[in-house]
Chains A and B, each alone.
Chain A
Amino acid sequence: MHGHLDVNEFYQDISGFLVGYYLALAAMNALAAWFVWRRSSATVLCRCGRLCVTTVPLWLLTAGMFGLMSATAVGGDAAAIGRISLPQWSQKFLNVALQPTWYTLGTFAALGLLFLARRFFVRPAVAWAMLNLAFFFLGLSMTDPDFARIVGKPDNVPIVGMLFLLGFFTWLGAYRAVENDARIARGEPTIEQRDCEKVLVWPDLVYIELICMVAVMALLICWSLALPAPLEQPADPLNTPNPSKAPWYFLGLQEMLVYFDPWMSGVVLPVLIILGLAAIPYLDTNKLGNGYYTIGQRRFAYVAYQFGFLALWISLIVIGTFLRGPNWSYFGLYETWDVHKAANLENVTLSEYFWIRLLHTRRPLAPDEAGTMLRMVYVLFRELPGLLLLTLYFLGVPWLLVKLSKFFRRLYDQMGGVRYAVMILLLLVMVLLPIKMLARWTGNLSYIVSIPELRLNL
């Protein structure tokens, strides 16, 4: 493999990074312990009589552990590095667990859990522990050459950083929302109402912007010096890099190309996303929750948005960045990106499923002498199962929801027919994506409706 590196050489290369990384983590935790101790805001973990165990010793312990790990990494000795690596079995387990079906279902489940247990997760100590766990996991994984190659690629480093930023802001929003919900329940004003964050343009805003400008400039300079851009070969349309990846913010779209026709994932769905986002103010009938963070008062909006953003958009970017390798094949985090990895995929359309696999017959085919109209009739007849299914999905499901769910019934009443229809259409299109993904992974379903004669594939 080009760029092949002996594993011992790799350990020597990575040891410098690990030493600094763990030292930084140790310092971060020590700082946290000091901060918590100074602020006397430590969470009490347990009480033993008069003895009260807070998080301060926990963070100190964590700092010590990271310091130890930092010392272990010095020199890059293979045996020592082995001690601060993920065990082989867990790597194998994770490779399997990150197979697309499990990954997607796992994402949904994790989001559900986070949502349901949000009051627990928004606690600073828990969040800090989770952050530490994430860094811990990252550190242990960096000793794997394949993982390090993907994560340490200069292009991907900012994506990793942004994942942490995303986690932080999601947590911050949820934290304030949970706090506000509690306040509202207690009848107190929300944080935003209490703080009345009105800021002067001068000096507050302009000054801060100046400071930000200076700080970001310093950051960018340091960043460009530490991770300089590689000198790559000239772009060559006949010999594109493998894998050829879109910029990180389009990786979700690129991933969608696997499941939909290009015009669908490249044109229709992005347009729908933009239109849908633009339509939100007009669809939203809930008067509550304006100007402050809340989940309790906007449960449906919150869940729907976070599902679309985190479970669909961000998770697709993660797939595209970290789990898609050469030939856009799916690779586990600890799997070597082998150009020759052969995926034995035989994608089948729904009509093939129906006619050939289910009815064991040929698909309806117009006779040779048939005219255009007759041919179309045959095509429509062939694709009847898919067409029926889609009709049922887009017409039947909204109706059923209104009929069976009190919540949707109330929504229908509040929004009225047109707005409800638009909202439910957007919602169903959004949900169609994971359905289609799962159908592809589990059943190799290529298209629900496939009319290559009209270049129409759904």
Chain B
Amino acid sequence: MPATDQTWYPMKLLHRVFALASLALLAASIWLLVQDHRRPWKQYQRTANRIAGRMAAWRELEFDPNAGSRAAEPRYFHFERGFPLPDSKLLELPILDAFNSPLRIENLWAEGLTQDYHFREVPRFDRCTTCHTAMQKTEPGSADAPAYPREHLLQFTVTPNVVFDIRTRGVAPGWFVSVPSGRAVVADWNVRPQAIVRNAQRQNLRLGLVSAAAADSTPTAVLGKPPVTDASPARLLDDRLGLRVADEGLLNPHDVTIAYVRPASPAAAATSLAAPPAAQPAERILLDLFQTGDAKPPVPSAPGLRAGDVLLAIDGTPVADREQAIGQLLASEKDLVLTVRRGLPHPFSSHPRLDLFVGELSPHKMSEFACSVCHEGQGSATDFKWASHAPNDPAQRKQWRDRHGWFDNPFWDSPMLPRRFIESSCVKCHPRVVDLQPSPRYPQPPAPKLLRGYTLLRTYGCYGCHEINGQQEGKDLPEDAGIPGLQQPPGPSLRYLNSSVSEAFWHDWLHDPRRFRPATRMPRSFVLREHLEGSSRHLAERYEPLEIRGIVAYLHAHVQAPEPALASVGTTATADSERDNRVEDPRSPLAGHGIPAATGTDRGRVLFQTRGCLACHSHAAFADADRFRTPDELVIGPELSNLADKLTGESSRAWLSDFLRRPIGHLPTTIMPDLLLEPISHRDAAGQVVSVSDPAEDLAEFLLQPSATELQPQRLPDLDEAGLDQLTLEYLRGAFHDSKAAEYVQHGIPADLVDTLRVAERELLVRDSGGEPAPGRGDRGSTRLSVAQKLRYVGSKAISKYGCFGCHDIPGFETAKQIGPPLSDWGRKDPKQLAFEHITDYLSDHRSGSSAAAGAVEASPEAAKTKAGEADSDEADAGKAEAYFRWQLVTASRIGFTYQKLAEPRSYDYRVVAQKAYHDRLRMPQFPFKAADREAIMTLLLGLVAKSPAEKYLHVPDSVRSAIIEGQDLLDRYQCATCHVLEPQKWHLAYQPGAFRPQPEKPVFPWVDHPFREDELQASHQADARGLLHATLAGMPTLADNGRPLVFDDCGDELFEDEDYLPQSLEYLFQLWQPAALEGREYQVGRGTLTVFGDQVIARQRASGGFLAQYLLPHVTELERAVNPNAKGSEAWGWLPPPLLGQGAKVQPGWLHDYLLAPYAIRPASLMRMPNYHLPAAEARVLVNYFAAQDGVDFPYQTVDRRNRTYLQQAQAAYSREPSVEAALADAPDPDRLAAAMRIVTDKNYCITCHIVGDFDPRTSDRAKGPDLADVYKRFRPEYLRRWLAEPVSVLPYTGMPVIVPYQDAAPHQGGVAQTLYPGTSIEQLDALVDLLMNFDVYTRRRAPVAPLVEAAGAAPAADPAPQE
């Protein structure tokens, strides 16, 4: 074609189109860049950078208050040198931020941890820190305090600097109290600072502190009128409160934010108003001293206002802007109440518990573990919605949806765990769970919810029906809870049925256990009919009574007598001497207490209370004991109120008393220990035995007293024989062809088939008159099945259907398989495999009420949102939780499924049941779980992922820690901590310097005092911003003579029972059980009590264990004082189960092992006896190792040097060489060193005053009687004994044991006992005493030579008889 200017399309139009298209492309490109610049993670990083910059600048002010905040805002260019230089901030500009900008996506590679992509294990990498940049940030100078805590509200009271008038010069530093006349009274700080404070508070006077600086200058201003000054408001604010307000807030520029707080200023000393003080009745306060306490230690952050706090309200008035706030702060003369917001919201806040997670010193370093291995979710996402964040409740869901466009991401299998289930992840690497208990290194429980779930799972015996493994390859989660039958099942054995329980009771019990025992753990298997309609409901109503009858018939038909051999394991007969000691004791707690004359019921009541029954059982008569239990404590034994309603048989009392004497003889598998009950003699004042009572009889009488309720068992409908036939036929159809089944249901199964039958079907074998299977008699029409046979068959089928054998030992079901599906990979279970069926219909048909409530919560998240920093009310929590789980159910997640399954296990059968055979219906029983329990169990279940992220990350504790963990597990199982205190109370104090006087000087042996390190003492002397020192005391409240804690009001009086007091205003006496460092001084155990003021206590941590001992303190004191009015309640700890602190360092492992297997009475003073749990030897070993590991001493073996023959010979030689001994030898016929020591023991002033020694009994009150010294050599470790003898109160501060060998550094022989008893220094005397006690057997052996006996015997028949002639 020839070239031409003519074109087909009009060029002008094309140019325009081209221009438009180019503009469109330009606009699109700009949009692209804007979108890139505005990516949410970049916004977060910019904000985080700004926050970090400002915080750094504000912190700089602490070092240089005049620095201003010049570095607060990074700029694009520097102008300082006269010409602009580009700053790195420049790279944050659009487009530029794509080029090596400080804003970048962060990849965290967790090389060792892989992620299962099914086809391949791929290395895990997370980008979470792209947005969560401050995760790892700690406060300057702290290893684990978060630099940016989660946003929370706080209220502070600030006392502005008062201007005072002190007319005299040279005032000494101290407190001043201003009085209305305008004069200040300066009080001597050293006199009684707390009294000054209290008086000032009571009279509403202003209180201040004259600092050293102020004292030197000449204060001239007049009270109430600030000095006239032309300083700026900011300057005034600094003077008055010691704070500065930033020009701009951290997140929101309009936030009035504190930029600087001057140390030791009013702002720094602001006190937090956690809860307004309220007066409480004295009774309550005294009870609280043992009951309440927060398990968590206080937040370690310093009190007072801090840089970064946002002022929200001043004296209740919301803060509008900076100027108004400053004006308000300056205007007030009185104390100011400030509401501040501390911390930052996600994603700018730091990770909580940096000691445990994320921190570089923590066991879960971020560099090693990254994020998603614990949190789940899509770690590679850099966008909120694609990261699969999981909201914790519907309100949060709505908030996220509105703010971040959150949606339920279907593209990721494992969304993040919502906060309520965050502990689930721990199971992956801690499959044993019990290793997550608090430890000395991490006293704050790392995963309390998970542990609770584990305890529940074990107590309710979920493993009876479900296989629950935390790991594949045989690493069972509950290592001890794998196979029912082998281990202690949660329910009692049904092999040895008690004949005192009527059949009617059994029917009633199976029908609904909660009718008789509302608190029972036994789940309901019957009468769960809410989901049934029409004919399916009628079928259940007809068949269930038959199944109940059947189960009872089956159990009665297979009842066995317990084998006596099983009962004798580990039981030892009490030594005769011991029996004598107890029985002949004229001052037994029950003797002379009016009890012999009282009824057996009264004696039984006292026994029930004081013999430890309450440790494992509860009883309506002792409801006050339950208040001492921890809130979620599981009482292991059944409640024993109204037992008379259950044991109605004629011989029930005889049975019960016999059972109490030897539980194992009646139930060989019971966990109930042998209480070692022995007859008690009661004597009159003259010491004559007036009566002997049998405690077992008395207890039985008490327990079987007529109940208040007189509950009548609910009767089942009359036996429906036609229904029984139908049910039998239905079950038979599962095993035989229909025609055969129809025949067998009439005439029984021919006995020839016996070898082909399963256990249940054998019930239907044709039997002869003797009840034996009759071969060849299965002819049609010749026999008929009895009703009893059919009932037994139905019962057997019902037992296997409902899985009763999961919790109970039932004859015939020893090898039965678990009936439930395995739960080992429940946390990864594909929701598509879960049968939700018609659950949403069920919910809408049955739960309109609760769903409306849930909907209301969802609809008004603002209304449901409670103030941060305040505890959410339980109701709002419950509503949120209910709404959350309902939403989860509607969205068909495994969380929703599990929750509903635990709540209403059979509701998934709704409408489906019509198509199911009766025996195919859902069968999981309904457990009496509370909502919180369900969440706890789910926390565990959701963590079962069948596979750990990497083998090497599995937590394998070292041998010591492992021994502790195993021991803790066992202590939990046997509930040892109900009687024994394992850890004393811990009181966390914040106090003014000088609040505690030094301990009185007392000379003690050099090895008695606990040595403190210099840094420990230094740390106790460091004041916080308020000028307060911090300390933690471990011990118990000091007991008064009545066994109750000693507390005084501000007048120094003990509390009156019917008055109310402010707990903060009281004085508490505290007995240290462990040494403490206060104000740089050592405070040793056993040197008097400490007076602690209520307002010094910032947190109180309750004792670990020993609820029963704490409950019984006043009760046993009362009992004892009835007999002996001079008895001291302060020694009551000694009459109760001993605290087990330092047990490992105290006793020899071998002895403890033997003792646990066969306990015997050691301390006559103790009212209770250690019962015999019939522990297997392996478990005893575990406990011995636990105690030794706890105290860091050798185990399992230990050498006792002092029993070494060479050592003894050397000591004897040294003793003999002593000049004093040589001198004394002339008088003393016995040169034996141990014999000399024995003189101390047998001296009437010393040991034998209280102690039993071999055959000697001091014949004093049981409470004052000491253990047999002849047994000490087996029991104690020598180091412990040496320390104990040197200063008993330094070991057990409550003990009545005096110092035998006094120590005086300067005195001749360094003090000690009389030289006539034992020549030598006090140290030598003490060592000799220790050697004697540790070699008592050796000593006594010397005194009982055998050779003379042999010689004497040799005089009779000759050793070599002469042949008879």
Q: Which residues of A contact B (CB under 8 A)?
A: 1-5, 9, 197-200, 203-204, 207-208, 210-211, 214-215, 217-218, 221-222, 225, 230-234, 236-239, 242, 339
CB pair A2 B27 closer than 8 Å: no
Q: List, sorted by A's number, 7 A–B pairs whose CB atoms are closer than 8 Å.
A: A3-B410, A198-B8, A204-B9, A208-B9, A210-B18, A217-B28, A233-B411
Q: A211-B14, A218-B28 are in contact. Are A233 and B890 (CB under 8 A)?
A: no
CB pair B891 A2 closer than 8 Å: yes
Q: How far is the CA of A5 from the CA of B408 in the complex (A)?
A: 8
Complex contacts, B409 vs chain A, CB 8 Å:
3
Q: How many A-B pairs with Cβ below 8 Å? A: 94
Complex contacts, A221 vs chain B, CB 8 Å:
25, 28-29, 31-32
Q: Does B573 contact A (CB under 8 A)?
A: no
Complex contacts, A203 vs chain B, CB 8 Å:
7, 11, 14
CB pair B408 A2 closer than 8 Å: yes
Complex contacts, A198 vs chain B, CB 8 Å:
8
Q: Does B118 contact A (CB under 8 A)?
A: yes
Closest Cβ–Cβ distance, residue A230 to chain B (whole Å): 6
Q: How far is the CA of A105 from the CA of B14 in the complex (A)?
A: 46
Can you list, as one digit per residue, whether each of B2-35 has a CB less than 8 Å from chain A (1) or not (0)?
A: 0000011101001001100110110111011001
Complex contacts, A339 vs chain B, CB 8 Å:
832
CB pair B25 A217 closer than 8 Å: yes
Q: A4-B891, A200-B8, A233-B413 are in contact. Are A211 and B31 (CB under 8 A)?
A: no
Q: How far is the CA of A155 from the CA of B765 in the complex (A)?
A: 67
CB pair A3 B407 closer than 8 Å: yes
Query: Which residue from chain B places its CB closest to the CB of A8 in the assembled complex?
Result: B859
CB pair A5 B407 closer than 8 Å: yes
Query: Which residue from chain B places its CB closest to the CB of A223 in the assembled complex?
Result: B28
Could you say which of B18, B118, B412 contacts A237, with CB atoms under 8 Å apart? B118
Could you say which of A210, A211, A238 contacts B119, with CB atoms under 8 Å apart? A238
Complex contacts, A218 vs chain B, CB 8 Å:
21, 24-25, 27-28
Complex contacts, B892 vs chain A, CB 8 Å:
1-2, 4
Complex contacts, B8 vs chain A, CB 8 Å:
197-200, 204
Q: Does B383 contact A (CB under 8 A)?
A: yes
Q: How far is the CA of A211 from the CA of B31 in the complex (A)?
A: 20
Q: How far is the CA of A339 from the CA of B741 in the complex (A)?
A: 39
Query: Which residue from chain B places its CB closest to the CB of A3 in the assembled complex?
Result: B410
CB pair B411 A232 closer than 8 Å: yes
Could you say which of A9, A208, A233 contacts B412, with CB atoms under 8 Å apart? A233
CB pair B22 A204 closer than 8 Å: no
Q: Which residues of B (808-829) have their CB < 8 Å from a CB of A?
A: none
Query: Which residue from chain B places its CB closest to the CB of A1 in the assembled complex?
Result: B892
CB pair B831 A207 closer than 8 Å: no
Q: Does B401 contact A (CB under 8 A)?
A: yes
Q: How far is the CA of A199 from the CA of B28 in the complex (A)?
A: 31
Q: Does B424 contact A (CB under 8 A)?
A: no
CB pair B381 A231 closer than 8 Å: yes
Query: Which residue from chain B places its CB closest to the CB of A231 in the assembled complex?
Result: B386
Query: Which residue from chain A places its CB closest to the CB of B11 in the assembled complex?
Result: A203
Q: Does B117 contact A (CB under 8 A)?
A: yes
CB pair B28 A4 closer than 8 Å: no
CB pair B18 A1 closer than 8 Å: no
Q: Does B378 contact A (CB under 8 A)?
A: yes
Closest Cβ–Cβ distance, residue B182 to chain A (whole Å): 66
Q: How far is the CA of A3 from the CA of B893 in the complex (A)?
A: 10
Closest Cβ–Cβ distance, residue A205 to chain B (whole Å): 9
Residue with the greatest number of chain B CB neighbours at <10 A, chosen from A211, A221, A231, A339:
A231
For the complex of A and B, 4 pairs with smallest distance between CB atoms: A221-B28, A2-B410, A218-B24, A4-B891
Q: Does B1 contact A (CB under 8 A)?
A: yes
Query: Which residue from chain A places its CB closest to the CB of B31 in the assembled complex?
Result: A225
Query: Which residue from chain A places its CB closest to the CB of B831 in the assembled complex?
Result: A2
Apart from A3-B407, A204-B7, A236-B117, list 13 A-B contacts with CB within 8 A.
A2-B892, A3-B408, A4-B408, A210-B18, A211-B18, A217-B25, A217-B28, A221-B31, A221-B32, A222-B31, A230-B411, A231-B380, A237-B119
Q: How far is the CA of A4 from the CA of B32 in the complex (A)?
A: 31
Complex contacts, A5 vs chain B, CB 8 Å:
407-408
Q: A9-B401, A238-B119 are in contact. Are A222 and B28 (CB under 8 A)?
A: yes
Q: Which residues of B (50-67) have their CB < 8 Å from a CB of A?
A: none
Q: Which residues of B (336-384) have their CB < 8 Å from a CB of A?
A: 378, 380-381, 383
Q: Which residues of B (114-173) have their CB < 8 Å from a CB of A?
A: 117-119, 122
Closest Cβ–Cβ distance, residue A420 to chain B (whole Å): 43
Residue with the greatest number of chain B CB neighbours at <10 A, chosen from A3, A4, A208, A239:
A4
Q: How far is the CA of A204 from the CA of B6 in the complex (A)?
A: 10
Q: How far is the CA of A200 from the CA of B32 in the complex (A)?
A: 36
Q: How far is the CA of A199 from the CA of B14 in the complex (A)?
A: 14
Query: Which residue from chain A places its CB closest to the CB of B414 in the assembled complex?
Result: A233
Q: How far is the CA of A203 from the CA of B32 in the complex (A)?
A: 31
Query: Which residue from chain A places its CB closest to the CB of B25 in the assembled complex?
Result: A218
Q: Which residues of B (29-85) have their CB < 8 Å from a CB of A?
A: 29, 31-32, 35
Q: How far is the CA of A297 from the CA of B409 in the complex (A)?
A: 55
Q: How far is the CA of A237 from the CA of B120 in the complex (A)?
A: 10
Query: Which residue from chain B places its CB closest to the CB of A239 in the assembled complex?
Result: B118
Q: A1-B891, A9-B401 are in contact. Are A200 and B1 (CB under 8 A)?
A: yes
Complex contacts, A225 vs chain B, CB 8 Å:
28, 31-32, 35
Query: Which residue from chain B places its CB closest to the CB of A216 in the assembled complex?
Result: B21
Q: How far is the CA of A324 from the CA of B81 in the complex (A)?
A: 70
Closest Cβ–Cβ distance, residue A336 to chain B (whole Å): 12
Q: Which residues of B (1315-1336) have their CB < 8 Å from a CB of A?
A: none
Complex contacts, A207 vs chain B, CB 8 Å:
9, 14, 18
Complex contacts, A242 vs chain B, CB 8 Å:
832
Q: How far is the CA of A54 from the CA of B408 in the complex (A)?
A: 51
Can you list, as one digit per residue, whether each of B956-975 has a CB less than 8 Å from chain A (1) or not (0)?
A: 00000000000000000000
Complex contacts, B14 vs chain A, CB 8 Å:
203, 207-208, 211
Complex contacts, B18 vs chain A, CB 8 Å:
207, 210-211, 214
Q: How far is the CA of A242 from the CA of B830 in the complex (A)?
A: 13
Q: How far is the CA of A234 from the CA of B14 in the complex (A)?
A: 46
CB pair A4 B890 closer than 8 Å: yes
Q: How far is the CA of A210 from the CA of B1 in the complex (A)?
A: 22
Closest Cβ–Cβ distance, residue A177 to chain B (whole Å): 23
Query: Which residue from chain A places its CB closest to the CB of B4 in the assembled complex?
Result: A200
Q: How far is the CA of A198 from the CA of B4 in the complex (A)?
A: 14
Can you list, as one digit per residue, whether each of B702-737 has a CB less than 8 Å from chain A (1) or not (0)?
A: 000000000000000000000000000000000000
Closest Cβ–Cβ distance, residue B843 to chain A (whole Å): 14
Closest Cβ–Cβ distance, residue B829 to chain A (whole Å): 13
Complex contacts, B381 vs chain A, CB 8 Å:
231
Can you list, as one digit per residue, whether each of B390-427 has a CB less than 8 Å from chain A (1) or not (0)?
A: 00000000000100000111111100000000000000
Q: How far is the CA of A217 from the CA of B831 in the complex (A)?
A: 42
Q: How far is the CA of A3 from the CA of B407 in the complex (A)?
A: 7
Q: How far is the CA of A195 from the CA of B1227 in the complex (A)?
A: 149
Complex contacts, B401 vs chain A, CB 8 Å:
9
Q: A1-B891, A222-B31 are in contact. Are A236 and B24 (CB under 8 A)?
A: no
Complex contacts, B831 vs chain A, CB 8 Å:
2
Closest Cβ–Cβ distance, residue B264 to chain A (whole Å): 53
Complex contacts, A199 vs chain B, CB 8 Å:
8
Complex contacts, B893 vs chain A, CB 8 Å:
2
Q: Which residues of B (288-312) have their CB < 8 Å from a CB of A?
A: none
Closest Cβ–Cβ distance, residue A148 to chain B (whole Å): 14
Complex contacts, B28 vs chain A, CB 8 Å:
217-218, 221-222, 225
Complex contacts, B35 vs chain A, CB 8 Å:
225
Complex contacts, A236 vs chain B, CB 8 Å:
117-119
Complex contacts, A234 vs chain B, CB 8 Å:
117, 122
Q: How far is the CA of A221 from the CA of B32 in the complex (A)?
A: 7
Q: How far is the CA of A4 from the CA of B27 in the complex (A)?
A: 36
Closest Cβ–Cβ distance, residue A229 to chain B (whole Å): 11
Closest Cβ–Cβ distance, residue B863 to chain A (whole Å): 18
Query: Which residue from chain B places its CB closest to the CB of A202 in the assembled complex?
Result: B7
Query: Which residue from chain B places its CB closest to the CB of A213 in the assembled complex?
Result: B21
Complex contacts, A238 vs chain B, CB 8 Å:
118-119
Q: How far is the CA of A5 from the CA of B31 in the complex (A)?
A: 30
Query: Which residue from chain A places its CB closest to the CB of B380 in the assembled complex?
Result: A231
